[in-house]
Amino acid sequence: MPELPEVETTRRGIERLIVGKTVRQVVIRQHALRQPVPADLPYLLQGQDVVAVRRRAKYLLLETPAGSVLIHLGMSGNLRVVPQETPLKKHDHLDLVLSDGKVLRYHDPRRFGLVLWAGNQPLMHPLLARLGPEPLEDDFDGAWLHRCARNRRLAVKAFLMDQKVVVGVGNIYASEALFMAGIHPARAAGKISAQRYQRLADAVKRVLFNSLEEGGTTLRDFSGADGRPGYFSQSLQVYGRSGEPCAACGRPVLSMVIGQRSSFYCNHCQR
DNA sequence: AATCGCGCCTGACGGC
DNA sequence: TGCCGTCAGGCGCGAT
């Protein structure tokens, strides 16, 4: 489900509703996520105050004085803050019951997500320690991409989705950014000029920022903490638009499989 | 070291 | 109506 804009939209949505609240109770209904939800999570969390909600890459970090909870939404996860009496739906796997009677509820049909305990140095957690730069920060730029791509022969789209290269770019925004930059998704990463990588870095920043402004992309079931959908799907130029006319030249948008993922592009505008 | 293919899991959808 | 194949916003693993 979520790439950076959807995770950040979720973070902003839950932040003001849970920071300053105390975790009264932790209810785990399903331990079997991508990794098991730690059995001692209730013991670690109960009575703790939520002091911050942070994001690193596509991970959310709920910070308490005792340590941080590390949450990943996988393909189909979401987090909502709902009244305690809200009826349970299928795949509502975990609740944090808060001191104001509200509940932070984790829902994830496919269970590709994660809820883990990351202690007091969460950025040192193995899942976070080796990630690449945040795309919206200044240390991510064309020079960084160009340097990372040296001698690499994989397709630039798969390269861009490598979380060691840059975090937060998934299957939707990889296609969108490459379209915006005029780069063919199957081009070998190591055969793209520094100048074109500058265009790509700028495109990544723009497409993610623009999506964030629209509350992310809702294709199926994504919605923010309040249940509202994101509207960026209306702004997608190529993703999911096979056969439709390219917004720039009118030729049909094509699709191909790169790294086992559907990729969308215009064969005329992207070289 | 880099790259590829697979599997994890459920649900939605289209064809027959 | 049901069954079957395909596909889906992610990611880590093992084989090459």
pLDDT in tens, A81-102: 999 999 999 999 999 999 999 9
pLDDT over threshold 90, residue A208: yes
pLDDT at A221: 65
State the burial class of residue A146 (Cβ atoms within 10 Å of its Cβ: 0-12, 13-18, 19+).
buried
Helix (H) or strand (E) holding A44: helix A41-45
Confidence label for A218 from pLDDT (cuts 50, 70 and 90): confident
Band (pLDDT 50/70/90 cuts) for residue A139 is: very high
The candidate with the shortest Cα–Cα distance to A175, out of A242, A249, A113, is A242
Angle value at C-alpha A88, between A51 and A101, nearest 5 degrees: 40
List CB contacts of A78: < 8 A, sequence separation 6 or more.
A1, A2, A10, A106, A107, A108, A221, A222, A223
Q: Which of A21, A56, A58, A80 is catalytic?
A: A58
- Report protein residues in contact with nucleic acid strand C, where contact means CB under 7 Å: A 1-3, 6, 34, 57-58, 72, 74-75, 110, 112, 127, 161, 163, 170-172, 216-222, 230, 260-262
Query: Nucleotides of chain C within 7 Å of a protein C-beta?
Result: 7-12
Task: State what percent of residues in chain A have pLDDT above 90.
Answer: 92
Give the distance between the most distant pair of CA atoms in chain A: 59
Mean pLDDT score, A128-156? 97
Rounded Cα gap, residues A189 and A191, in angstroms: 6
pLDDT for the residue numbered A223: 64
**What does the angle CA A184 – CA A185 – CA A187 come to, to the nearest 5 degrees?**
70
Q: Is residue A36 annotated as part of the catalytic site, yes or no?
A: no
Token pair of A66 as six digits: 């005792």
Residue A227: is its pLDDT beyond 80? no
User: Mean pLDDT throughout A140-168?
Assistant: 98
Nearest residue to B11 via alpha carbon and C1': A109
CA A129, chain centre distance (Å): 17
Give A148's pLDDT tier (boundaries 50, 70, 90). Answer: very high
Side-chain-side CA neighbours of A264 within 13 Å: the count stands at: 23
pTM score, two decimals?
0.97
Give me the catalytic one of A3, A8, A15, A176.
Answer: A3
Helix (H) or strand (E) holding A265, with range, is strand A261-265
Listed by range, residues with Cβ under 7 angstroms from strand B are: A 32, 34, 76, 90-91, 109-112, 151-155, 158, 189-190, 220, 259-260
- Closest-approach nucleotide to residue A148, Cα vs C1': B2
Lowest mean pLDDT: which of A172-176, A186-190, A233-237?
Answer: A233-237
**The one catalytic residue among A34, A152, A187, A261:** A261
| pLDDT of A73 | 97
Per the annotation, the verdict on A135 as an active-site residue is: no
